[in-house]
A and B are shown apart, each in its own frame.
Chain A
Amino acid sequence: MSDPKTTPAATGEHDVLGHVDSPPTLLIVFVAILVLFAATVGISSSGMFGKYTLFVQLGIGSIQASLVGCYFMHLRHGDRVVILTALASIFWMGILFVLFMSDYMTRHRVIG
């Protein structure tokens, strides 16, 4: 731990520190997120997907968020329980959305 310029591979053997990121990977991820962002702005402004724009936007947002999660938040190297926690939060949000929609998409339909 004496030399701060040690390469990630050399420091990797200290299991207390876990995985050390490599800057090029982070940079690639960073650029990818920004490119996706530019893409979503372009798609939205042109309106090329019509009424499906929202889903395309949310899809791109999800990809961006998973890049952030996997690389910046180290989910790639996470414990099983950390990954489970992340998935659980999404699953519970899914419960909320699906059941909210079960009401809001059918509220105006009348039985009879």
Chain B
Amino acid sequence: MTTAVTSITPKIAPPPPEPAPAEPNYLNVNYSLWGWLTTVDHKRIGILYLISITVFFLAGGIAAGIVRLNLLSPDGAIINEDAYNRAFTAHGVLMLFFFLIPAVPAVLGNFLIPMMIGAKDLAFPKLNLASWYVFMVGAAFGVYAILNGGIDTGWTLYPPYSSRSSQSNVVPGVFGVFISGFSSIMTGLNIMVTVHKMRAPGMTWGRLPLFVWSLYATSLIQLLGTPVVAITTVLLMVERVAGIGIFDPLIGGDPVLFQHLFWFYSHPAVYIMILPGMGVVSEVLTCFSRKNIFGYQAVAWSSMGIAVVGFMLWAHHMFVAGISYYSALLFSFLSMLVAVPSAIKVFNWTGTLYKGSITFQAPMLFALGFVVLFVIGGLTGLFLATLGTDIHLHDTYFVVAHFHFVMVGGMVLGYMAGIHFWWPKMTGRMYSDWWSRVAAAIIIVGFFLTFVPQFMMGYHGMPRRYPNYPQEFQVYNVMSTAGASILGLGYLLPACYLTLSLFFGKKATGNPWSATGLEWQSPSPPPLFNFDEAHMPVVVCGPYEYSLGIDQMGRGLPEGPGLGTPNDPSDKHGESSAPGPMKKETEVVG
């Protein structure tokens, strides 16, 4: 009971006046566009990122739709081969560089890291704003390259095709990737310094929420991996512009060296994409099973383990590219090794769920979907890390299905879980419980229908990136396209109900899920500097004390499901009076 708690510990923000609209928060400090474009508030910058990457997700999704539609018939249903190349490259470049990499770190990380560790802002607020502008400049180059004829090299940009043969917009596209890399570095640097230097009193490393740990590990990769791809793209641009460069086989250059340098970043980059999702899942699973995380240290350190080991196995993308056999053996072994920390996480999540008081709100559905799909994606990765099977499966739809299970099934679902979990905190509004659950179900079903057939056709030999295929694969492709349509519908639903919730959603309380993290101890939406300036948070315990029913400041949680306490409508941080369509949900989780 929050009201009761408030009276026990007077260190909290004084109860705001009952008509909540007057309460100052980061959204209503000003409404001008100029105010948004010059903000140095990490929360607003998170929202700026949210809007931008949603646009890129939509654009990348349209490109994916074109690819899938074209694959409906064996000879290409709608576009020619050249346009097909440009469509899948656009899909890859947009989704990877302009959606997946910034998705959780720049949106949720930006918004939540300072709140979770009890800081007023990130360490470098101006750098944070600069990162968004740099990102947009990079994206502008990328979008220009794609709209002005496209790139036909695939997102991997291998020379010598990309450096001398391709007739498409390689240079502006690569330049866009180069620029947006800086924004990734800036965000990562900001998060790392913030976690090191800005933690609230009592927020020891052992009390950090696992989301912070996972983003710390992510930032480490961003910091140490991105510069290598930056120099690689510079070398590629030099080679393409000057007509000569260090990957040029004519002067003894080794095109495989590009692949080494490229994957030195781009393999760890898949951990940039998946680790934050793992962090989100750790938060959501504990909250909706009302249990402490099983094996906090193991989950935290496995994030770091993934970040470090993830740098040592890139060449499994190159087993058939002509690298040394001995090297391939080594990389195969190291690739197997990264399965260990990943599996540790899954075991610990399962252990967390065991005998928990589980409720199935949308964030939880997405998180459970993440776990299942990540396990499938991860295990099929072992097939590809094995030298023998990789020769059969390399560059087939098996690979496509594998990484979509991890990237979409894992990361996009993790991102969705995070957005649904923290939406009330970010916007101060609740979304439709029923529709969000329906959307989660549709996305998971559509996902399976899209990508399971791809495993099958890939195993039977359908190569990736081919616009044409033998008749026997059509049935799989039609299934996959049908699934993609369902998936697309599933993504449109949240876009609708989340947008509607901004205007019609019930006002959210400060802590609608009865979660323990510091970010929930501030009103929804949070005030400008996150917490009451006079009473900055002091942390007294670990992040997931659900069984004790206390938050990180040692105060009682508003209400836990299964405790049988009715929800108190006069919650301190917002009004939640009228029993509306959301009533049922609040009865379940508070």
Task: Name A residues whose Cβ lies closer than 8 Å to a Cβ of B.
Answer: 81, 88-89, 92, 95-96, 99-100, 102-111
Contacts and interface: CB of A to CB of B under 8 A. Distances in A.
A96 B224 CA distance: 11
Contact of A109 (B256, B264, B314, B324): B324
B330 interface: yes
B315 A103 contact: yes
B260 interface: yes
A92 B311 contact: yes
Nearest to A96: B264
B228, B256, B312, B324 pick with most chain A CB within 10 angstroms: B324
Contact of A88 (B224, B228, B260): B224
B326 A92 contact: no
Contacts of B264: 96
B7 to A, nearest CB: 41
B327 interface: yes
Contacts of A95: 311-312
Given A81-B196, A99-B312, A99-B315, A109 B260 contact: no
A68 B315 CA distance: 35
Nearest to B313: A99
Contacts of A99: 312, 314-315, 327, 330-331
Interface string B323-335: 1111100110000
Contact of B324 (A89, A92, A106): A106
B326 A109 contact: yes
The contact size tier of chain B is 10 to 19
9 contacts: A88-B224, A89-B224, A92-B224, A99-B312, A102-B324, A102-B330, A104-B324, A109-B326, A110-B325
B324 A103 contact: yes
B323 A107 contact: yes
A111 B311 contact: no
Contact of B326 (A88, A100, A106): A106
Given A92-B224, A96-B228, A100-B260, A107 B324 contact: yes
A111 B326 CA distance: 9
Q: Which of A89, A103, A104 has the largest count of B CB atoms less than 10 A from its CB?
A: A103
Contact of B260 (A92, A103, A108): A103
A44 to B, nearest CB: 24
A104 B315 CA distance: 12
A20 to B, nearest CB: 23
Given A92-B224, A95-B311, A103 B196 contact: no
A102 B323 CA distance: 10
Contacts of B326: 102, 106, 109
Contacts of A111: 325
Contacts of A102: 324, 326-327, 330
Contacts of B330: 99, 102
Given A99-B312, A107-B327, A108-B324, 4 more contacts: A99-B315, A102-B324, A103-B324, A104-B324
A50 B196 CA distance: 47
Contacts of A104: 324
A84 to B, nearest CB: 10
Contacts of B331: 99
Interface in B281-330: 311-312, 314-315, 323-327, 330
A110 B220 CA distance: 37
A53 to B, nearest CB: 22
B491 to A, nearest CB: 36
Nearest to A88: B224
A104 B252 CA distance: 14
Contacts of B312: 95, 99
Contact of B327 (A88, A92, A103): A103
Nearest to B318: A103
Contacts of A100: 260
A92 B331 CA distance: 16
Interface string B196-240: 100000000000000000000000100010001000000000000
Contact of B323 (A81, A92, A96, A103): A103
A110 B256 CA distance: 18
A9 B283 CA distance: 50
A100 B327 CA distance: 9
Interface string B256-269: 10001000100000
Nearest to B330: A102
Contacts of B315: 99, 103
A59 to B, nearest CB: 24
**Which of A81, A99, A109 gathers most chain B CB within 10 Å?**
A99
Nearest to A98: B312
A111 B331 CA distance: 17
Contacts of B325: 106, 109-111
Given A92-B311, A95-B311, A106 B224 contact: no
Contacts of A103: 256, 260, 315, 323-324, 327
Contacts of A89: 224
Contacts of A108: 324
Nearest to A107: B324
A111 B311 CA distance: 27
Nearest to A89: B224
A109 B329 CA distance: 14
Instruction: Give the 4 A-B CB pairs with smallest separation, nearest first.
Output: A103-B327, A106-B324, A106-B326, A107-B324
A105 B324 CA distance: 9
Contacts of B311: 92, 95
A106 B330 CA distance: 12
Contacts of B256: 103
A109 B325 CA distance: 8
A54 to B, nearest CB: 19
B376 to A, nearest CB: 29
Contacts of B220: 88
Contacts of B314: 99
B55 to A, nearest CB: 34
A100 B324 CA distance: 10
